[in-house]
Amino acid sequence: MSPSAAQIFRLGEIVARLGGDLVGDAAVTVSRVATLENATADAVAFLANEKYLSQLKKTRAGAVIVGESLRGSLKTAHIVAANPYAYFAHVSALFNPPPKPPRGNHPSAILHPGAQIAPSVHIGPLAVIEDGVVIGEGCTIGAGAYIGADVRMGTDCLIYQNATLYDRCVIGSRVTVHSGAVIGADGFGIAMDEGRWIKVPQVGRVRIGDDVEIGANTTIDRGAVDDTIIENGVKLDNQIQVAHNVRIGAHTAIAACVGIAGSSRIGSYCRIGGASGIAGHLVIADHVEISAHTLVTKSISKSGTYTGAYPFESNRDWRRNAASLRQLGDLVDRVRALERSLKKTKKGES
């Protein structure tokens, strides 16, 4: 599809809207964003990591977004920004505005008469809105989505097709929930009683702040007693499991396939890499970065980067090192015994 007139911008217009410093011809027009490698003269690309400098030298982009260190060093028109990647995100949003959904509700949507739905809300085919639901202005509920009883939703939310919000969830404004996500299912609360498991009722809620995004097939369990809380600005990738009574601090970002066990508290502005696991009842400080595939089994009290991933290697080397690791405990005991023996020897000599 060719870009519409509204999607074509002069570089001067982009800088006027978004800031930054333009080096080059302000009249150059661009209509899309692209990578350095694949860009053509109608595209804007960016460089945020200097390991891609070789691609910058070869790019055919009409303009490039760069950091201060490259100011004036390019023949290509360039926009100098303090954070090139964030600036690129804003430019991409100019070219790719979200589609405006139609107002009104599809005739096949099932709307309980006790629901309070703002006039500007759009509800898609076969969506179900239960009793006591409150949905604010500008929200879109996709086809087949389910909004349980007494859910409260702020303004300008986007609930994609086939997402599920269980009863009594509280959703802030400008929240996006992608397809297949389940918000408010029961937490995994069970107790052993006379040789069998009995269910612990999960009577808390899920409370989600403003400007949160929840990826496809991510699940957030309701609290067992207190609420599970996702604070403002949190970004959750696909296929994440957030257990009951977890609290995730504001503006934390979590990559795909992370599992967070019950009652753990994640600080603000944390970054958690994909496939990491966080054990239950832990506290993670603000501004903590956890590398991918890291298993966190104790609380982290100081900001910083923490890594527990074992680097990959050939299968032959891995087997040899794994065999050595199994003997590590015995080796530690032998070293300690040797140290004790040396101490005794030194005392005898003295």
- Poorest-confidence range of 50-54, 159-163, 272-276, 335-339? 50-54
SS (H, E, C) 77-117: EEEECCCHHHHHHHHHHHHCCCCCCCCEECCCCEECCCCEE
CB 261 within 8 A of CB 298: no
Average pLDDT over residues 76-103: 92
Residue of 127, 135, 139, 144 lying closest to 180 (CA atoms): 144
pLDDT band at 322 (very low <50, low <70, confident <90, very high): confident
The verdict on 47 and 167 lying in the same domain is no
SS (H, E, C) 32-66: EECCCCCCCCCEEEECCCHHHHHHHHHCCCCEEEE
User: What is the full DSSP assignment across 238-260?
Assistant: SS-EE-TT-EE-TT-EE-TT-EE
pLDDT digits (tens, 9 = 90+) for 214-264: 999 999 999 999 999 999 999 999 999 999 999 999 999 999 999 999 999
Residue of 103, 101, 107 lying closest to 118 (CA atoms): 103
Average pLDDT over residues 298-318: 93
Average pLDDT over residues 43-63: 92
Whether 118 maps to a domain, the answer reads: yes
**99 or 229, greater pLDDT:** 229
**99 or 10, greater pLDDT:** 10
Q: Which two tokens stand for residue 61?
A: 């982009």
Round to whole Å and give the CA distance between 339 and 177: 59
Q: In 10 A of CB 192, how many CB atoms? A: 8
Catalytic residue among 78, 244, 251, 293: 244
Whether 312 maps to a domain, the answer reads: no
Q: Say what percent of the chain tops pLDDT 90.
A: 86
**5 or 8, greater pLDDT:** 8
Residue 5, pLDDT score: 46
User: What is the full DSSP assignment across 263-288?
Assistant: T-EE-TT-EE-TT-EE-TT-EE-TTE
The verdict on 255 and 331 lying in the same domain is no
pLDDT digits (tens, 9 = 90+) for 250-300: 999 999 999 999 999 999 999 999 999 999 999 999 999 999 999 999 999
Residue of 67, 80, 68, 69 lying closest to 24 (CA atoms): 80
CB 47 within 8 A of CB 68: no
Residue 1 pLDDT more than 50? no
Residue 87 pLDDT more than 90? yes
Average pLDDT over residues 67-91: 95
The verdict on 279 and 338 lying in the same domain is no
Indicate yes or no: pTM above 0.85: yes
Is 244 annotated in the active site?
yes
Residue of 236, 265, 226, 227 lying closest to 249 (CA atoms): 265
Q: Say what percent of the chain tops pLDDT 70.
A: 98
The verdict on 201 and 72 lying in the same domain is no
The verdict on 266 and 135 lying in the same domain is yes
Whether 147 maps to a domain, the answer reads: yes
The verdict on 89 and 120 lying in the same domain is no
The verdict on 110 and 187 lying in the same domain is yes
Containing domain of residue 322, as a range?
Answer: 317-349
Phi, psi of 240 (to 5 degrees): -100, 145
Whether 265 maps to a domain, the answer reads: yes
The verdict on 11 and 70 lying in the same domain is yes
What is the SS3 assignment for 67?
Answer: coil
The verdict on 121 and 209 lying in the same domain is yes
Q: Output the domain CATH number for residue 11.
A: 3.40.1390.10
Phi, psi of 202 (to 5 degrees): -105, 100
The verdict on 165 and 218 lying in the same domain is yes
Whether 311 maps to a domain, the answer reads: no
How many domains in the chain?
3
Residue 128, pLDDT score: 98
Q: Output the domain CATH number for residue 137.
A: 2.160.10.10
Residue 263, pLDDT score: 97
